[in-house]
């Protein structure tokens, strides 16, 4: 018995120690609410000593505004016998109030009836302070802040939410968050909300798609939402940050409209526009660039401009211009060739400028270019025309100043040649005559070229002109082992033309063919009607021409003959004569295979004047 008493005494002592050591305030009151027992934490919480508290009634610690609530809780506990947790303020000795959470339960006697009430009281000051700080942060946020539970019930809103949606706070608390979502999006929104609560983490809601809210007046507006899970012991809540992005969307639309306008201007502009990054890689390539080069924008994006378009000889120059721009030169002008996808070169005149960042560093180089290839050709042609005009003036003067003395010299040389019997003298005089005749021929070609006269058109038989022209070369062709083939069709119409000029054309072409076949070969002439033209063809099996030479043969003073053996004017005169007759001349040539000239002369004025009287000569 004594051992049992000691054991009970020991348990009692442990209970008292635990009671006193509890960080929560613990108290016990009688059925009349007189305080019978408190621990040290209770005294510290209220500021009253234990002795003072034991002389007080529990209702003395309750502020007037909470007494009614507290009385209801006490009645509930006594009636049901079940514990109740509630929050109120306690009065402290110094007159201040402290927020507390009270768990109240009944203490029953042996008969099961309540004999008093026990309370575990927790100081909520720190929690309330944290909650107030949280409330202030939420309230002062420039974004709308809204908290919901798992069921979508609105628990908290700030002033910005009221302003954004047009509701009073009291109209929102306790309502479903779907009331702020447009009707058409509500079913989808509920599903998204459920997914978030199942896998809650801080993230943006609706990433990759547009979100909208609906105001009290039914007006929809675009918004962005950031979701943050708030984990409490009971459940997970979500704090949503809501931003009205209407102004941003308007700015984006305005910016997009401006970009579309700029794109339209760039894409429809006749000028080439290319944008490079600060390393020289292509970022923008408009349609004019595509048309000029044959490359699509997709093919060139990200490539260095000098790797695709610049010919080797101009790469360093282009890079130097780019480096000047990247180094701070605001603008410059430059000309260079661009090589297209097909290898064709275009001469481009560029006006270059730069776009800089906020720190002044060059970020982009913008180049606007004009294709001046045709202009350069016209410019060159103009210079050539000016040279020809100057040549005409020079030739006229030379014809007078040199022609007369040359005729005198020629006459005296021919006179002496007839009178002398000295073979050495004859040989020297013959050389003088030959060279004077050559000078006269050059002077005549210069005059023909520089002062081309209008054709003296008569009805002529082109077949007859071909025959007569070949007759002049008969002995020379036989000597040089050159065979002649003729394919002159019957009933080729007569034409209106200057006979002498056409003879000159054929003499020039046949002479060139003979020069191209020093070891012999075949000369073929054809004549036929081609729609509204007469087509004259002249082919040889000579050494032919390269493409580079072929493209220049009609240019004045261009010749492949050795110095002193050609003036470079013969084919230029030929082309001029044919064009004066309203016709065209074209040339085809293959190196070591031969050359063919095609001359087309119009029939529009000659259909009724008859046909050629030359009997067709078939090819052998």
- Give me the phi and psi of 53, to 5 degrees please: -65, -40
Q: Quick one: pLDDT band at residue 413, thresholds 50, 70, 90?
A: confident
pLDDT at position 83 over 80: yes
Give the mean pLDDT of the chain: 84
Helix, strand or coil for residue 278?
Answer: coil
**Is domain 458-602 given the CATH code 3.30.565.10 in the classification?**
yes
Q: What is the pLDDT of residue 444?
A: 67
**Residues 211-232, mean pLDDT to the nearest whole number:** 88
CA-to-CA distance for 386 and 610, rounded, in angstroms? Answer: 42
Question: In this predicted structure, what is the pLDDT of residue 490?
Answer: 80
Confidence of residue 2 (pLDDT cuts 50, 70, 90): very low
Q: What is the pLDDT of residues 509-562, one digit of tens each?
A: 998 899 899 999 999 999 999 888 999 999 999 999 898 888 888 887 677 665
Looking at the domain 2-123, which fold is it? Beta-Lactamase (3.30.450)
Q: How far apart are CA 344 and CA 370, in angstroms?
A: 16
- Quote the DSSP letter at residue 337: E
Helix (H, G, I), strand (E, B) or coil at 384: helix
Residue 10: which residues within 8 A CB-CB, separation 6 or more? none
DSSP 371: E
Q: What pLDDT does 407 receive? A: 75
Distance CA 339, CA 347 (A): 9
Average pLDDT over residues 267-275: 81
- Using pLDDT thresholds of 50, 70 and 90, give the confidence band for residue 396: low
* Two structure tokens written together for 27: 């108290």
- DSSP sequence for 489-539: -TTPBPEEE-HHHHHHHHHHHHHHHHHH-TT-EEEEEEEEEETTEEEEEEE
pLDDT for the residue 154: 92
pLDDT at position 457 is 86
Higher pLDDT, 390 or 289: 289
- Domain limits, CATH 1.10.287, in the chain: 377-450
> What pTM was computed for the model?
0.41
Confidence of residue 4 (pLDDT cuts 50, 70, 90): very low
Structure tokens at 118: 């026990």
Query: For residue range 130-158, what is the model confidence (pLDDT) as tens digits?
Result: 877 878 878 888 888 888 888 889 988 99
Class of domain 377-450: mainly alpha
Q: CATH assignment of 266-371?
A: 3.30.450.20
Q: What is the pLDDT of residue 419?
A: 82
Q: Which one-letter DSSP state was computed for residue 593? A: T
Q: What is the pLDDT of residue 381?
A: 67
Give the pLDDT score at 618: 46
pLDDT one-digit tens code per residue, 248-265 = 888 888 888 887 777 776
39 to each of 15, 34, 43, 236, how far by Cα in Å? 12, 15, 7, 35
Per-residue pLDDT, 63: 93
Q: Which residues contact 516 (CB under 8 A, 6 or more apart)?
A: 540, 542, 543, 544, 594, 595
What pLDDT does residue 240 have?
Answer: 87
Asked if pLDDT for residue 286 goes beyond 80, the answer is: yes
**In this predicted model, what pLDDT tens digit does every residue of 22-44 receive, in sequence order?**
889 999 999 888 999 999 999 99
Residue 619's pLDDT is 42
Distance between terminal CA atoms of the chain? 156
Q: What are the residue ranges of CATH 3.30.450.20 in the chain?
A: 2-123, 128-244, 266-371
The CATH label, of 3.40.50.10610, 1.10.730.10, 3.30.450.20, 3.40.50.200, for the domain at 128-244 is 3.30.450.20
- Residues 6+ away with beta carbon under 8 Å from 589: 544, 545, 550, 595, 596
pLDDT of amino acid 1: 46
Q: 169 pLDDT exceeds 70? A: yes
Q: Answer yes or no: are the C-beta atoms of 323 and 345 closer than 8 Å.
A: no
Residue 605: what pLDDT? 52
pLDDT digits (tens, 9 = 90+) for 593-604: 999 999 999 986
- Could you tell me what percent of the chain has a pLDDT over 70? 84
Q: What is the pLDDT of residue 303?
A: 93
Task: Pull the structure tokens for residue 288.
Answer: 């004019």
Q: Is the per-residue pLDDT at 6 higher than 60?
A: no
The per-residue pLDDT for range 175-203, each reduced to its tens digit, is 999 999 999 888 888 778 778 877 767 66
* pLDDT for the residue numbered 398: 63
Does the pLDDT at position 332 exceed 50? yes
* Residue pLDDT, tens place only, 461-473: 998 989 988 888 8
* Tens of pLDDT, residues 557-578: 677 665 445 556 778 888 888 9
Task: State percent of the chain over pLDDT 90.
Answer: 35
Question: Phi then psi for 432, rounded to 5 degrees?
Answer: -60, -45
Which pLDDT score, from 0 to 100, does residue 562 have? Answer: 57
């Amino acid at each position: 018995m004594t051992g049992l008493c000691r054991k009970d005494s020991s348990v009692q002592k442990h209970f008292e120690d635990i009671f006193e050591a509890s960080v929560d305030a613990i108290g016990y009151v009688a059925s009349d609410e007189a305080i019978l027992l408190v621990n040290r934490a209770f005294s510290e919480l209220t500021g009253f000593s234990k002795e003072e508290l034991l002389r007080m009634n529990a209702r003395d610690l309750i502020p007037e505004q909470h007494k009614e609530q507290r009385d209801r809780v006490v009645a509930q506990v006594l009636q049901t016998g079940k514990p109740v947790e509630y929050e109120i303020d306690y009065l402290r000795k110094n007159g201040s109030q402290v927020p507390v959470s009270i768990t109240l339960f009944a203490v029953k006697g042996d008969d099961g009836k309540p004999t008093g009430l026990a309370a575990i009281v927790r100081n909520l000051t720190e929690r309330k302070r944290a909650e107030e700080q949280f409330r202030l942060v939420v309230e002062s946020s420039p974004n709308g802040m809204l908290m919901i539970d798992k069921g979508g019930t609105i628990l908290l809103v700030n002033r910005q939410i009221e302003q954004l949606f047009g509701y009073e706070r009291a109209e929102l608390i306790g309502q479903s968050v779907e009331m702020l979502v447009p009707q058409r999006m509500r079913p989808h929104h509920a599903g998204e909300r459920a997914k978030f609560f199942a896998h809650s983490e801080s993230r943006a809601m609706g990433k990759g798609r547009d979100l909208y809210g609906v105001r009290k007046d039914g007006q929809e507006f675009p918004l962005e939402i950031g979701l943050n899970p708030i984990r409490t012991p009971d459940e997970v809540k979500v704090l949503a940050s809501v931003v009205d992005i209407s102004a941003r969307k308007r700015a984006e639309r305005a910016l997009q409209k401006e970009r579309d306008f700029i794109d339209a201007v760039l894409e429809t502009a006749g000028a080439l526009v290319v944008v490079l990054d600060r390393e020289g890689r292509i970022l923008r390539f408009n349609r004019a660039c595509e048309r000029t080069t044959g490359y699509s924008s997709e093919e060139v994006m990200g490539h260095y401009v000098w790797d695709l378009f610049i010919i080797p000889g101009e790469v360093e120059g282009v890079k130097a211009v780019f480096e000047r721009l990247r180094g701070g030169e605001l603008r410059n002008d430059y000309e260079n060739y661009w090589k297209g996808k097909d290898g064709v070169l275009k001469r481009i005149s560029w006006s270059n400028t730069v776009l800089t960042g906020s720190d002044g560093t060059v970020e982009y180089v913008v180049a606007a270019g004009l294709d001046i290839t045709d202009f350069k050709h016209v410019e060159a042609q103009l210079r050539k025309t000016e040279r020809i005009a100057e040549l005409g003036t020079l030739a006229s003067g030379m014809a007078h100043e040199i022609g007369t003395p040359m005729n005198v010299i020629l006459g005296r040389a021919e006179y002496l040649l007839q009178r002398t019997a000295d073979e050495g003298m004859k040989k020297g005089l013959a050389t003088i005559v030959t060279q004077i005749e050559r000078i006269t021929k050059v002077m005549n070609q210069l005059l023909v070229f520089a002062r081309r006269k209008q054709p003296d058109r008569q009805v002529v038989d082109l077949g007859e002109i071909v025959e007569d022209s070949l007759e002049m070369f008969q002995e020379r062709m036989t000597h040089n082992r050159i065979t002649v083939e003729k394919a002159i069709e019957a009933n080729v119409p007569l034409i209106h033309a200057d006979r002498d000029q056409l003879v000159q054309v054929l003499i020039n072409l046949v002479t060139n063919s003979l020069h191209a076949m020093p070891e012999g070969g075949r000369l073929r002439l054809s004549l036929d009607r081609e729609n509204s033209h007469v087509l004259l063809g002249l082919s040889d099996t000579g050494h032919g021409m390269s493409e580079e030479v072929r493209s220049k043969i009609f240019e004045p003073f261009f010749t492949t003959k050795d110095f002193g053996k050609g003036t470079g004017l013969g084919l230029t005169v030929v082309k001029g004569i044919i064009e004066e007759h309203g016709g065209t001349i074209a040339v085809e040539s293959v190196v070591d295979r031969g050359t063919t000239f095609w001359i087309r002369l119009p029939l529009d004025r000659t259909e009724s004047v008859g046909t050629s009287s030359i009997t067709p000569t078939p090819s052998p």
